[in-house]
Structure 1
Amino acid sequence: MNRYVLGCALAALTATLAAAGPADAQDSVRIGLVEPLTGSVAYNGKSVVEGARLAIEQINAKGGVLGKPVELVIEDGQCAPANSVNAVEKLVQKDKVAVLVGAFCSSATAAIMPVAAKYKIPLVTGVSSSAALTEQNNPWFFRAAETDALMAKAFAKILATDLKLKSVAYVGVNDDWGRGGVEEFSRDLSALGVKTALTEYFDHGTTDFFTLLTKLRAAKPDGIFVAAETQDGSILVKQFQEMGLQSKVFGVGSWATADFINLTGDAAEGIHAAVPYVSSVETPRNQDFVKAYQAKYNVKPGKYGAAGYNALNIVVQAVARAGSTDAEAIRAALAKTSYEAPNGVYRFTAKGQAYGFDAVLVRIEGGTPKVIASSPVEAPQ
């Protein structure tokens, strides 16, 4: 072969590899996952990772996607916006991931959304529930989770009636999610004639709630709405019991998870929680998932394990439909999602908000979340 022909061949090969992109040239399909693995939300972030790893294990056992194994590249975002942005920069620039999943806390997810848009790489969250996220019209962002607005709409009336609420105190972690949850539930409950007795916020990692609880005791509400994750929520509820407060507790967050119930003990009894998933739903698809999760981790999945599992399945199915790791093709494929999950069928609106799956209201009885109501999550109007 003469030099001219060899040069042309090399040029053609280089152009082909360049068109394929770095992700297509890899031996695996890499998916970047940003979750809080340290800090006060680590219990929940690790559960997301467990669900994601189970999904990848099952997918690879069936041959992977695009004829390649799926590789999960995990970074600790700590639920902190700056740390999460740094994690995404690494995943995109160094690890060359095809898709991003994360970043748990709504404030952290809000911080990485512009980064995903800058690099034009799809971003899916399985957890972040601040309604404001999908109102940004970021075409690269998809939320495979409920919003607190949807949960309040579904269950506010049932809570007000069943708990005989005339006044409610609202307590939430001081971030986008906590403030959003308080705003959504207080608005819908106020519309039903329930008075607001008090509104208080606390920081992630708080260990002493007694000043806040003294205010709650003085306010004498019928119910206390709480937006908190496992570590913060368990400490709050145990101190609530220590002070002998009798108000009925309900809210959003990690209430129905095994970690929360184990940490909180009998102080968790009677708590009501609005959640997108609970392991006790007796459908064949869910029970298959519960069996596989329990076999791998020796614990039943909670909402965060299910969130990680669902998000990774949604992403990999989109890659399969796209037929490549081209970012625009994956984004277009995500928009056409129809994923049969353990808790229903996920589809996305034009703004990237998931709908079609079932949400449930549970009450913790005997250390087990008992379903007392369910509602399909409908597309926002």
Structure 2
Amino acid sequence: MKSKQWFRAVAGIAAAVGVVCASGQESKVCECGAHPPGPPRDRVVAPYAGEPGDLSPYARFAAPYDLNYIHPNIYSGAGRDLPEPKDLTEVRIGFFGPFEHSPEAIFGKRMLNGAQLSVEEANVRGGYGGKPFRLMLHNDYDNWQAGSVYGADRSTDPAIWGSASNEVVKMVYDDQDWAIFGSISSESTHIALRVALRAEIPIVNSASTDPTIPETYIPWYFTDLQDDRVQSYTLARRIYTELGLKRVAILRINSRYGRFGVPKFRDASRRLGHPPVIEQKFLPGDTDFTRQLKAIQGSRADAVVLWADEIPAALILKQMRALGMKQRVFGSYRTIGPELLAEAGPAAEGFEAVFPYDPTRGDPGWIGFNRRYEARFHEPPEQFAALAYDAMNALLDSICKAGLNRARIHDALANIETWNGVTGQMVFDPNQKNVAPMYLAAVHEGAIRYRLYPMEKIPSTDVKTSAHAEEIAPREPYAHVGEDGGGLPGPARSDFSEKPLRVVLFGRGAMLASRSVEMQRVLASAGSILQLLPISSDQNWGAASTELVHALFDEHAVAIVALDRDASHLAEQLALKAFVPVLAISTDRTLTSTNVPWIFRMPVSATPSSAIAVLCEAASRSGGSPERLRTVLASGSDLQGVRFGLSGEPRTE
């Protein structure tokens, strides 16, 4: 069906299409604002979003002096006093979603289907006092700036936010909508929320997980989908606390959905003592993930977290198995479902992801909704459709309670503390977002199994510890970084043809050290395999950096010997860009704690000449390649009496 035909098909109200609710569907007559609710009560819900103590910011160090978002942001304007219009023939609700010309159009259409079914069923029950509810459809990502060039079938660009604000303004002032439903993209929803603040109109959402949207503290927003904070904390609890995994890699889509999804997981990982070892990105539409997966493979991760959609997640799983990668894989709520099973096949076995509800349960409300939805749209409902149906039901119920007054509709939504939808029981915090525990979905023998999985840490019952013992017991380290060193999964460069190989001697007194008798003896005994490029740090740091860059990229130096702590830190930063090893003469152990694979710290007794002696022997084994030189240094081999561990620290045994 062409998009315009489909558009007209779903835009009709129930009276036009003759939809009849299945038997057993609750029949509820609209109150039409006969008893409008007042503002929400001033309740306190702490901690924010149900955040467990060990996942709260700075919980290991200090208690916060104040907590945000635990009280309702009560609207205090004059909008409640506006009279209800008398000459309406229909009650309009703006629908804002990507149902045309968008990579997320399939999700937008499903979201629209769920919302439309709710509207049609409400109209069968009589609508708003005999007036039908009507969705006013507005496509998200409608690139108005290119319209004069490309016409009606112009390309779209989600980076152009002007289109979102234009569509919302049309819904508010041209369509005269009483509320707005949408969108999926968090950038468009953010823009819509700013317009809503000015126009004082409720926005109901069922598809965006960006946690920063409700944290704008704009009171006009309501969502029935748990955000990325709840998703991330649930995943972190499963991965680190229950399974005991430590080295986790992140692979995400390079879109706002991915960019704003994984920070909460990174935060949770860090607070539980295991910062992610690597993060890789891919572009929307990519189908080959070999480069990213090889980088993850080289990081020695023991688990991978995906922030993507079902088809990319399925392709990633298949390509991981083809590469022989056996790590456990976890994902956000958009990664799991029937499309993943169909595309990934056996490669999906063992995959786990969070999910907002259990679609396999057999309660009558859920079964009835599935039957009605399939009869109407000829496909089973997935999460975008089911959550949209629940959110639209909450909105329509609020309109019926409040009457045709945007401020009172907001009050009715803000008064919802729990909601029993077809997807299950929802719990709303004062920010008007669902914070109910999520489900953990796992693929087992070709099917997806679901179980409720709260974020809270389950206390151990094996060992009883007194309060005093807990107080004096040593704390676990805040983080474990660098204990296994850093790998080097990148491509190797060709050998440098220049002989002798050039090595930078960098730090205070570099010139004097390069001319010392002991240094000349070391170079001569090694057959002059190395040539020193001394650069003093006793000058402006900008000038020193410029000389280092010249030596590394123009003179093709293969290594740096840093003579002191400050020089070592600067050399380490440049080594990350130039891909050359650094031998640091410093007692600062933080140099090797950052998982940088190019840094090697010499023993305390080291001198500039002994560091050059180590490089001479390593270069005699590696040839003219900085990568192979680094490999020899990291191999643990004896080099002039010095051995380095995987992290670059000198071995003492």
Is this a same-fold pair by TM over 0.5?
yes
Between the aligned partners of 1:145 and 1:303, the Cα distance in structure 2 is: 10
Match of 1:131, SS state, is coil
Gaps of 5+ in 2: 1-81, 142-156, 457-653
Structure 1 partner of 2:92: 30
Structure 2 partner of 1:5: none
Count matched residues: 356
Between the aligned partners of 1:203 and 1:113, the Cα distance in structure 2 is: 27
1:191-233 deviation line (CA, Å, top 9, x unaligned): 3343422012333333433322221222231111111124543
Structure 2 partner of 1:167: 247
Structure 2 partner of 1:332: 411
From 27, 47, 55, the equivalent of 2:110 is: 47
Of the two structures, which has the highest relative contact order with CA contacts closer than 8 Å and spacing of 6 or more? 1
From 144, 147, 151, the equivalent of 2:231 is: 151
1:312-347 deviation line (CA, Å, top 9, x unaligned): 1111011011022x1111111111124321233335
- The worse-fitting range, judged by mean Cα deviation, of 243-252 and 107-116 is 243-252
Opposite residue 122 of structure 2, the aligned amino acid is: I
1:356-379 deviation line (CA, Å, top 9, x unaligned): x452010123443211443499xx
Structure 2 partner of 1:63: 126
Corresponding position: 1:322 with 2:402: yes
Q: Residue 59 and residue 206 in structure 1: after superposition, are their counterparts in 2 closer, same or farther (change >3 A)?
A: same
Kept after mapping to 1: 8 A contact 2:232/2:262: no
Q: Residue 98 and residue 368 in structure 1: after superposition, are their counterparts in 2 closer, same or farther (change >3 A)?
A: farther
1:38-76 deviation line (CA, Å, top 9, x unaligned): 332222222211211221222222222343211122222
Q: How does 1:370-381 map to 2 (within 5 A)?
A: 370-375=449-454
Kept after mapping to 2: 8 A contact 1:65/1:316: no
Q: Residue 272 and residue 82 in structure 1: after superposition, are their counterparts in 2 closer, same or farther (change >3 A)?
A: farther
Kept after mapping to 1: 8 A contact 2:289/2:316: yes
Structure 1 partner of 2:365: 285
From 187, 190, 202, the equivalent of 1:122 is: 202
Kept after mapping to 1: 8 A contact 2:305/2:331: yes
1:260-297 deviation line (CA, Å, top 9, x unaligned): 44344444332211111231133332232233223333
1:8-62 deviation line (CA, Å, top 9, x unaligned): xxxxxxxxxx9545xx643221111112223322222222112112212222222
Between the aligned partners of 1:99 and 1:335, the Cα distance in structure 2 is: 14
Structure 2 partner of 1:4: none
Match of 1:364, SS state, is strand
- Structure number with larger C-alpha Rg: 2
Q: Residue 116 and residue 267 in structure 1: after superposition, are their counterparts in 2 closer, same or farther (change >3 A)?
A: farther
Between the aligned partners of 1:231 and 1:25, the Cα distance in structure 2 is: 49
Q: Percent identity among equivalent residues?
A: 26
Structure 1 partner of 2:471: none
Opposite residue 106 of structure 2, the aligned amino acid is: Y
Match of 1:132, SS state, is coil
TM-score between the two structures when normalised by the length of structure 2: 0.51
Shift of 1:124: 1.1
Structure 1 partner of 2:392: 312
Match of 1:98, SS state, is coil
Between the aligned partners of 2:97 and 2:342, the Cα distance in structure 1 is: 22
Between the aligned partners of 2:310 and 2:336, the Cα distance in structure 1 is: 10
From 163, 178, 184, the equivalent of 1:83 is: 163
Kept after mapping to 2: 8 A contact 1:255/1:261: no
Kept after mapping to 1: 8 A contact 2:306/2:335: no
Between the aligned partners of 1:120 and 1:361, the Cα distance in structure 2 is: 37
- The worse-fitting range, judged by mean Cα deviation, of 332-341 and 233-242 is 233-242
Between the aligned partners of 2:184 and 2:252, the Cα distance in structure 1 is: 16
Between the aligned partners of 1:374 and 1:278, the Cα distance in structure 2 is: 11
Q: Residue 184 and residue 103 in structure 1: after superposition, are their counterparts in 2 closer, same or farther (change >3 A)?
A: same
Match of 2:335, SS state, is coil
1:73-116 deviation line (CA, Å, top 9, x unaligned): 22221493443333322322332221101111222211221012
1:114-166 deviation line (CA, Å, top 9, x unaligned): 01212211101112112111111111112221012122333422233555522
Kept after mapping to 1: 8 A contact 2:390/2:423: no
Between the aligned partners of 2:269 and 2:452, the Cα distance in structure 1 is: 17
Kept after mapping to 2: 8 A contact 1:347/1:354: yes
Q: Residue 189 and residue 335 in structure 1: after superposition, are their counterparts in 2 closer, same or farther (change >3 A)?
A: same
Between the aligned partners of 2:266 and 2:253, the Cα distance in structure 1 is: 15
Between the aligned partners of 1:212 and 1:376, the Cα distance in structure 2 is: 29
Kept after mapping to 2: 8 A contact 1:261/1:268: yes
Q: Residue 111 and residue 245 in structure 1: after superposition, are their counterparts in 2 closer, same or farther (change >3 A)?
A: farther
Opposite residue 94 of structure 2, the aligned amino acid is: G
Between the aligned partners of 1:63 and 1:85, the Cα distance in structure 2 is: 33
More helix by share: 1
Kept after mapping to 2: 8 A contact 1:54/1:293: yes
Between the aligned partners of 1:48 and 1:69, the Cα distance in structure 2 is: 20
Q: How does 1:121-140 map to 2 (within 5 A)?
A: 121-140=201-220
Between the aligned partners of 1:122 and 1:241, the Cα distance in structure 2 is: 47
Gaps of 5+ in 1: 1-17
Q: Residue 110 and residue 26 in structure 1: after superposition, are their counterparts in 2 closer, same or farther (change >3 A)?
A: same
Q: How does 1:238-317 map to 2 (within 5 A)?
A: 238-317=318-397
More strand by share: 1
Q: Residue 242 and residue 93 in structure 1: after superposition, are their counterparts in 2 closer, same or farther (change >3 A)?
A: farther
Between the aligned partners of 2:381 and 2:388, the Cα distance in structure 1 is: 10
Corresponding position: 1:93 with 2:155: no
Structure 1 partner of 2:188: 108
Kept after mapping to 2: 8 A contact 1:363/1:371: yes
Opposite residue 100 of structure 1, the aligned amino acid is: I
Match of 1:353, SS state, is coil
Kept after mapping to 2: 8 A contact 1:106/1:129: yes
Match of 2:213, SS state, is helix
Kept after mapping to 2: 8 A contact 1:277/1:302: no
Structure 1 partner of 2:622: none
Structure 1 partner of 2:442: 363
Match of 1:270, SS state, is coil
